[in-house]
Structure 1
């Protein structure tokens, strides 16, 4: 099976490509290698993937439609997993245009490829941030998600809407997955766990927003990509009538389209998260307690019932075990 994955030099794309390659898939990856964070980390991920004979990669932004078209016309993908995006809630306050270019224009280019090649399944990444101001928790896919709090969330919600329209118009089986806070080895340097571990080991203070009174549904990376792998086989089918859709399913009544949460279905208080990092490092943190940052939300919490019903699987890695695995990788990679 030929799978085209965007964002293979990124945190999630790297882990997914590695899993699929080990399962015998042929993978062509594409990544823009932008300097949003250390490009050397991205290059190292690709170097690891290139050791697999079934992997090839192209370095290009998704906005470069000529390159995207040429590569996919040669590869002829059967499955597309679109993970590439301009990530980061806070950076979207500084550089909103980067989000529109990558997350809307880039996503449109990928959907055009899916249409032209009549792929068996198009899977695209969204985010729990689309739930925005919704306080009805745990978040279920059937909840309204029409109050995004940042341009990042708004561009991801736009991607969901575009995906639905293409699924309806061109009968493209499409699954959108909403990620919750993902962590683990090879993680992004802009994410909390990476920043906290690095700062604590260096003796620098860490910024703890809302005085630690925040809650997140932390999802370990191998759990997340296992969920994606299983969803590849859970191809949505356009229903004959709306009445045949179960209450727990987000399947569209007019398109082969579905939205699926991938989360751990547990909430962890930010201050407890810091405590667990300190315990693993055996080093106390210098805590800089701060007010809530603009665009942030006090809590996220996934209802993973749909994922479990579709695949028989749900993430389950304990936060302490996940932190321990990240710290072991971090110390080895950075020799700290």
Structure 2
């Protein structure tokens, strides 16, 4: 069970990526039915300010590296890449891994895990901008340059900032269930889940557009998954041309409307499989797949197991 989270900060830590970890794990969500983790900010010298990557901004860890010793999760935010990392920090992270803690890195935090020798012969990722340097420094790591995050069980590595959110929410969902992850995502006003296998960035230029965000459309879609949707009907709702809507959708979500809808429908199916006794046919209708056969096809493609096997493993008692 995920109860205690320790985040490691060293000099030139990136405040935003540090904030991502704080937002998911460091805020008491119990008033919404969410979790309250024991959250520790750890450094080599507790009580001493640690300079961040932004001049004039510092973080002060309340805990020393002993705060990692019994943490369920040790998180490493992005930090300026360097030739050598503090030996005490590397040793503390290695010790956490050896005793079975889960490790999570955001963006360039993967370099610290690599320096600790924890990514040798392991699948992993980091920000696309650093892939070449990462592969050169850690040739034994099996780095994937495209994906948002990689879940290797005891080690989760993620790409850039937004992918860090995805990885953190994925871990919450994996350990505590979809309802808890959805509570946190709703408060953060982000999609509850993006598939880790999505590409890190859009290869075509992001179009210039002064229209408002598509977030209202995305929220409406999440509430109306059972209905049939096309690019044409969604574009009309957004008061855009079909071409502009499709381009804006890819720019904001990193995927197409069809793929995004399929992923959200699978996510909703997972929730219904976990929390209800509805039959597969009824779940298929509730999620917008229409038939059990279509549900099984999309569910297995995304999750890797059948709906029946997923329910047997994850259904609430």
Q: Which TM-score band applies after superposition, normalised by the shorter structure?
A: 0.3 to 0.5
Q: Relative contact order (alpha carbons < 8 A, sep ≥ 6): 1 or 2 greater? A: 1
Q: Over alpha carbons, which structure has the higher Rg?
A: 2
TM-score by length of 1: 0.35
TM-score by length of 2: 0.37
- The structure carrying a bigger strand percent of its residues is 1
